[in-house]
Chains A and B, each alone.
Chain A
Amino acid sequence: MKILVKLFATFRDNRFVKQEMEFPDDTTVKEVLAVLAIPDEEVAILMVNGRNEEVDHPLKDGDTLSLFPPVGGG
């Protein structure tokens, strides 16, 4: 299945901004993080299709996964 992975802030360093990636069906967010070499604990905000989810969330074909380190403001 195809997942659109979007990285933000420091996660972009030595990686990419946005990339469509191919994964086996039922891949979880945790498994995607392992492929990207991003430790789980460094992920502060994790969105699947714009909704906050947890690392064990299973992905579906066509999902957009957005990953942020701790950031905030206002």
Chain B
Amino acid sequence: MKAYVGTVLRINLSTKTITKEAIDAEMAQKFVGGRGLATYMLSQEIDPTIDALSPENKVFIATGPLTGTNAPTSGRYMVVTKAPLTGTIACSNSGGYWGPELKNAGYDMVVLEGKAEKPVYITIIDDEVEIKDADHLWGKKVNDTTDTLLEEMGDQKARVLCIGPAGEQLSPIAAVMNERFRAAGRSGVGAVVGSKNVKAIVVRGSKKVEVADSEKMRDILKGAMAKIRENGVTGQGLPKYGTAVLVNIINESGVFPTRNFQTGVFEEAEEVSGETLEAKYLVKRDPCYRCPIACGRYCKADDMEGGGPEYETLWAYSADCGISDLKAVIKANHLCNDYGLDTISAGCTIACAMELFEKGYIKAEEIDGPELNFGNADAIVEWTRKMGEGEGFGAKLAQGSYRLAESYGVPELSMTVKKQELPAYDPRGIQGQGVQYATSNRGGCHVRGYLISPEILGIPEKLDRLSLENKPQWAKIFQDLTATIDATGLCLFTSFALGAQDYADMLSAATGQEWTADSVLEAGDRIYNIERIFNLKAGFTKADDTLPKRLLEEPIPEGPSKGWTTKLDELLPLYYEVRGWDAEGVPTEETLKKLGLK
């Protein structure tokens, strides 16, 4: 079985035991790898009802079969665990170079179990794996941690994955970071790593990932590369402007969530657009491993420079907080990276706090920092710092918007699904995206199924964003294909240019297994269902497949989507039917049998 390197590295932190075991080949084929295989293994090994921050939880840091191969965008790895933010399955995906380096060291995945007595970090240099004392690193921010470890290793080419102070303080919106600016951002995976007293994992590998048929792979990759280069989005739009180019498109559609989703049009969008970012603050492009798209940005504002901001970050800290000061947004993004905070959840939590402040729930006398008014640029920078430090009222914000709003008796003012902050698209004006948000297995999220692609961007075909027709079917196909792409170790952005058959061809040539467009989609369906089953066992029900009350009941007050709410009541039963789930959202026996899960 090629493309997989064949070994799972298991580290028990309680007993300090390091074991290397063979990857289960049958299950690897069934669940592809990465997100799929790790979710299957996690489901087998833990009870989904446990406390996410207890030593019983495990963290799977997993690559896919295409990670580290010559395939374009093959730099991805995933962090799979039970999420402290949501209580659901977590799968946070990151790019950069850490994933390929892990495979070059000879491992498909690292499993962290138990809890270290005191802070440790792990070094993986090919066959040599060590658990080391991290007292001197605990409390350090991401850049400082990275610099210190690179110096200690005496090898600037080593790859550092770490958590920042937010993960150490068990903030449920803490990220796992790698190469300073790349984030497995969502669902609080950084807190789970922190709960195990693990500060960092440094990797260096000298091997190469082998594929089954290198000649066939070369031909297939030539075709895939040509499609990516010729496609307008992956060949021109993303390289030139990065993801922030979406600001104007989404705002022109009247679905750019503004001031905590109180409206869908931000009057100052131009000030924070991709066009403005490119003209004023871009230093350079910052691509991931083997990526011809290079959407990654590297920006500078005053004394702060680094990776990002990406579209979602830019939105959370600008429109959602009513801010048009792009400099302040770049600084807040930088602080999130350095403290190891998820930028979407951090920005949206400040937006929620601003609504709570303006409506009188949060009183001026209880906050030890800038006033939390919409539009206050100083507030987003300083409150992000305080969240990262866990300082004063910042510690309360670092719990995420749901816990914050709930503490004032108004959880409905948290714009979350399953307690995870929604991203930068108001589903009231994008009906398919609405049912996708409600049914995403990790709560509020755009990258479980990016319906924005057909509903706004017209890829692979144009759909009317306000129509309900066939939207449940589209949601399922996008969720399934996305699950497989994640599991392969490629970047989701390839799907602007490639289709299921392209992924099947790459998987076949790389692994030597037989893959077809249908089996690619079926594998995604299988992954989606095991994630769903994990959540059902964790206690989630149909009642959790919903959206914040505002999005269901308060129409967008102005602009091109004026008057619309998400028609979830109509869409959800159809979605369950399309999925082969019963009226309660539980996979039927027949569905499980069909997917080989029974």
A binding-site residues for B, Cβ under 8 Å: 6, 8-10, 12, 17, 44-45, 47, 49-52, 66, 68-74
**Closest CB in chain A relative to B256 CB, distance in Å:** 11
Measured in the bound complex, the distance between the Cα atoms of B248 and A45 in whole Å is 12
Stretch of B79-87, B374-382, B452-460, B534-542 lying at the A interface: B452-460
Stretch of B11-19, B21-29, B141-149, B239-247 lying at the A interface: B239-247
**Closest CB in chain B relative to A38 CB, distance in Å:** 14
User: Which residue of B240, B254, B492 contacts A9 across the interface (Cβ within 8 Å)?
Assistant: B240
With A9-B237, A50-B561 known as contacts, the answer to whether A73 contacts B243 (CB < 8 A) is yes
CB pair A8–B236 under 8 Å, yes or no, is: no
Chain A residues, Cβ within 8 Å of B233: 44, 70-73
User: Which residue of B236, B244, B295, B559 contacts A69 across the interface (Cβ within 8 Å)?
Assistant: B236
Chain A residues, Cβ within 8 Å of B240: 9-10
Chain A residues, Cβ within 8 Å of B450: 74
**Closest CB in chain A relative to B132 CB, distance in Å:** 38
Q: Does B465 contact A (CB under 8 A)?
A: yes
Measured in the bound complex, the distance between the Cα atoms of B312 and A22 in whole Å is 37
Chain A residues, Cβ within 8 Å of B446: 74
CB pair A73–B238 under 8 Å, yes or no, is: yes
**In the complex, residue of chain B having the shortest beta-carbon distance to the beta carbon of A66:** B252
Chain B residues, Cβ within 8 Å of A47: 252-253, 560
- Interface size class of chain B, counting residues whose CB lies under 8 Å from the partner chain: 35 or more
CB pair A72–B237 under 8 Å, yes or no, is: yes
Chain A residues, Cβ within 8 Å of B465: 52
Measured in the bound complex, the distance between the Cα atoms of B249 and A73 in whole Å is 11
**Closest CB in chain B relative to A12 CB, distance in Å:** 7
Q: Does B394 contact A (CB under 8 A)?
A: no
Measured in the bound complex, the distance between the Cα atoms of B275 and A71 in whole Å is 12
CB pair A44–B275 under 8 Å, yes or no, is: no
CB pair B560–A45 under 8 Å, yes or no, is: no
Chain B residues, Cβ within 8 Å of A9: 237, 240-241, 245, 274-275
**Closest CB in chain A relative to B471 CB, distance in Å:** 15
Measured in the bound complex, the distance between the Cα atoms of B248 and A9 in whole Å is 9
Residue picked from B231, B252, B464, most chain A C-beta under 10 Å: B252
**In the complex, residue of chain A having the shortest beta-carbon distance to the beta carbon of B255:** A50
Chain B residues, Cβ within 8 Å of A70: 231-233, 236-237
Chain B residues, Cβ within 8 Å of A74: 243, 246, 311-312, 446-447, 450, 452, 492-493
With A45-B249, A70-B232, A70-B237 known as contacts, the answer to whether A50 contacts B559 (CB < 8 A) is yes
CB pair A8–B248 under 8 Å, yes or no, is: yes
Q: Does B496 contact A (CB under 8 A)?
A: yes
B contacts with A: majority SS: helix
With A9-B245, A72-B246, A73-B311 known as contacts, the answer to whether A52 contacts B236 (CB < 8 A) is no
Chain B residues, Cβ within 8 Å of A17: 270
**In the complex, residue of chain A having the shortest beta-carbon distance to the beta carbon of B254:** A50
**Closest CB in chain A relative to B264 CB, distance in Å:** 10
Q: Does B284 contact A (CB under 8 A)?
A: no
With A6-B252, A9-B274 known as contacts, the answer to whether A45 contacts B458 (CB < 8 A) is yes
Measured in the bound complex, the distance between the Cα atoms of B248 and A6 in whole Å is 10
**In the complex, residue of chain B having the shortest beta-carbon distance to the beta carbon of A52:** B462
CB pair B464–A52 under 8 Å, yes or no, is: yes
Measured in the bound complex, the distance between the Cα atoms of B560 and A74 in whole Å is 21
The 5 closest A-B pairs by CB, nearest first: A50-B560, A70-B232, A73-B243, A71-B237, A72-B233
Chain B residues, Cβ within 8 Å of A10: 236, 240
Chain B residues, Cβ within 8 Å of A68: 248-249
Chain B residues, Cβ within 8 Å of A73: 233, 237-238, 242-246, 295, 310-311, 493
**Closest CB in chain B relative to A47 CB, distance in Å:** 6
CB pair B275–A8 under 8 Å, yes or no, is: yes
Beyond the given pairs A68-B248, A70-B237, A73-B238, 8 more chain A to chain B contacts, judged by CB atoms under 8 angstroms and listed by A's residue number, are: A9-B237, A9-B241, A50-B252, A70-B232, A70-B233, A71-B237, A72-B496, A73-B233
Measured in the bound complex, the distance between the Cα atoms of B245 and A12 in whole Å is 13
CB pair A44–B457 under 8 Å, yes or no, is: yes
CB pair B232–A44 under 8 Å, yes or no, is: yes
Measured in the bound complex, the distance between the Cα atoms of B250 and A52 in whole Å is 12
Residue picked from A47, A66, A73, most chain B C-beta under 10 Å: A73
User: Which residue of A6, A51, A52, A69 contacts B237 across the interface (Cβ within 8 Å)?
Assistant: A69
**Closest CB in chain A relative to B239 CB, distance in Å:** 11
Interface residues in B248-282 (C-beta closer than 8 Å to A)? 248-249, 252-254, 270, 274-275
Measured in the bound complex, the distance between the Cα atoms of B559 and A61 in whole Å is 17
**Closest CB in chain A relative to B107 CB, distance in Å:** 30
Interface string of B522-543 (1 = CB under 8 A from A): 0000000000000000000000
User: Which residue of A8, A66, A72 contacts B459 across the interface (Cβ within 8 Å)?
Assistant: A72
CB pair B312–A71 under 8 Å, yes or no, is: no
CB pair B275–A12 under 8 Å, yes or no, is: yes
CB pair A52–B458 under 8 Å, yes or no, is: yes
Residue picked from A10, A44, A71, most chain B C-beta under 10 Å: A71
Measured in the bound complex, the distance between the Cα atoms of B462 and A68 in whole Å is 14
**In the complex, residue of chain A having the shortest beta-carbon distance to the beta carbon of B447:** A74
CB pair B246–A71 under 8 Å, yes or no, is: yes
Measured in the bound complex, the distance between the Cα atoms of B529 and A32 in whole Å is 49
Chain A residues, Cβ within 8 Å of B452: 74
Chain B residues, Cβ within 8 Å of A71: 232-233, 237-238, 241, 245-246, 249, 274, 457
**In the complex, residue of chain B having the shortest beta-carbon distance to the beta carbon of A18:** B270
User: Which residue of A12, A44, A72 contacts B238 across the interface (Cβ within 8 Å)?
Assistant: A72
Chain B residues, Cβ within 8 Å of A66: 248, 252
Residue picked from A10, A71, A74, most chain B C-beta under 10 Å: A74
